[in-house]
């Protein structure tokens, strides 16, 4: 793979377990040896440097705090290893703990902290030496949902405040979309697409990216022609329409991506379907339908009093909003 990460960016490596994202992170950190290629930081090769000589730090999934040290001593540890005098390192530790809102817990041991507090101590310890790049290996995976959501906001705020480049590894699409400036979607050791969260979600280049990022309907389509990035496709049931096409797609049998939230119910809808199940999701309602050719198709409606919800077994017409359909590469 070839990858450029911008300075001061929140960059996320996103993909399923086993796709290679943590291996790539470990290569940047120096915990794995490079067998070919090069890793450069601001133009300077670093592949030959041991981990402690690289201007990067890592926040691990299990936090790896020293249990016999207090919170403050954990945060000071990297500075002490670098020979920073005690007054300076104590002042720096206080500053880092204030940044993660833990200054009043400086004297506690890790065992006396919650999971979220331990995560923030690990983050403060990694930031204290002032690395040029901070590597984060799924640091939120052990937290409960509410705490994960709160920590996403804090992590992004800390990255913007410090101006340090964050390289974040996760398999959670919502984490990636909510925090990142740029995302690299990975599969089987290869990068499938790099872009902003909106680009990755709205304009996936292939079936893997479309299916992995969020929820989508992958519908078979016959492509009649492609001109200047726009394709003429025929959907099941004979509906023909024009839609944006991913690069490199030509005439023939392919798939289009249609996000469930970009579909509404309308008597004049382009697709005929039968409702099989209605799932209540609080703020949303999910309709599990089946198209005339038997293919499953999900529709997501906002839960509002004005929304008329069809009963299971009802025949409906599905209207595709403008820009809802995108032709994908296989």
Q: Check residue 305 and give its pLDDT.
A: 63
Contact 246, 315 (CB under 8 A): no
Q: What is the pTM of this model?
A: 0.88
| CA atoms lying within 13 Å on the CB side of residue 228 | 1
For the chain, 330 residues long, give each residue's pLDDT as a single digit of tens: 899 999 999 999 999 999 999 999 999 999 999 999 999 999 999 998 999 899 999 988 787 899 999 999 999 998 998 899 999 999 999 999 998 889 999 999 999 998 888 888 998 999 999 899 999 998 887 777 787 888 888 889 889 988 999 999 999 999 999 999 999 999 999 999 999 999 999 999 999 999 999 899 999 999 999 998 999 999 888 889 999 999 989 899 999 999 999 999 999 888 999 999 999 888 888 999 999 888 899 999 888 766 778 899 999 999 999 889 999 998
Enclosing H/E stretch for 219: strand 217-227
Other C-beta atoms lying within 10 Å of the C-beta of residue 216: 24
> Distance between CA 281 and CA 172 in Å, rounded?
19
User: What's the confidence (pLDDT) of residue 63?
Assistant: 79
How far is 2 from 40, CA to CA, in rounded Å? 12
Q: 198, exposed or middle or buried, with CB in 10 Å at 0-12, 13-18, 19+?
A: exposed
């Amino acid at each position: 793979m070839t990858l450029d990460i911008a300075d001061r960016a929140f960059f996320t490596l996103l993909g399923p377990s086993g796709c290679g994202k943590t291996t790539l992170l470990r290569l940047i950190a120096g915990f794995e040896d490079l067998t070919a290629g090069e890793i450069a930081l601001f133009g300077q090769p670093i592949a030959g440097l041991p981990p402690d000589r690289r201007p990067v730090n890592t926040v691990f999934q299990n936090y790896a705090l020293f249990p016999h040290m207090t919170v403050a001593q954990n945060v000071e540890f990297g500075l002490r290893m670098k020979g920073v005098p005690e007054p300076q390192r104590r002042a720096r530790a206080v500053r880092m703990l204030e940044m993660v809102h833990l200054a009043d817990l400086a004297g506690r041991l890790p065992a006396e902290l919650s999971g979220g507090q331990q995560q923030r101590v690990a983050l403060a310890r990694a930031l204290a030496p002032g690395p040029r790049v901070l590597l984060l290996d799924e640091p939120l995976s052990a937290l409960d949902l509410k705490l994960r959501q709160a920590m996403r906001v804090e992590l992004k705020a800390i990255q913007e405040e410090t101006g340090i480049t964050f390289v974040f590894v996760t398999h959670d699409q919502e984490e990636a979309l909510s925090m990142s400036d740029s995302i690299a979607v990975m599969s089987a050791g290869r990068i499938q697409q790099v872009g902003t969260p909106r680009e990755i979600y709205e304009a996936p280049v292939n079936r893997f990216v479309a299916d992995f990022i969020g929820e989508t309907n992958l519908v078979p389509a016959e492509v009649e022609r492609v001109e200047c990035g726009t394709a003429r496709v025929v959907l099941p049931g004979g509906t023909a329409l024009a839609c944006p096409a991913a690069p490199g797609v030509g005439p023939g049998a392919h798939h289009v991506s249609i996000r469930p939230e970009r579909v509404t119910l309308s008597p004049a809808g382009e697709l005929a379907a039968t409702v099989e199940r209605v799932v209540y999701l609080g703020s949303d309602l999910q309709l599990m339908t089946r198209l005339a050719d038997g293919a499953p198709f999900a529709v997501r409606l906002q839960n509002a009093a004005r929304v008329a919800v069809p009963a299971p077994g009802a025949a409906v017409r599905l209207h595709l909003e403008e820009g809802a359909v995108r032709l994908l590469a296989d």
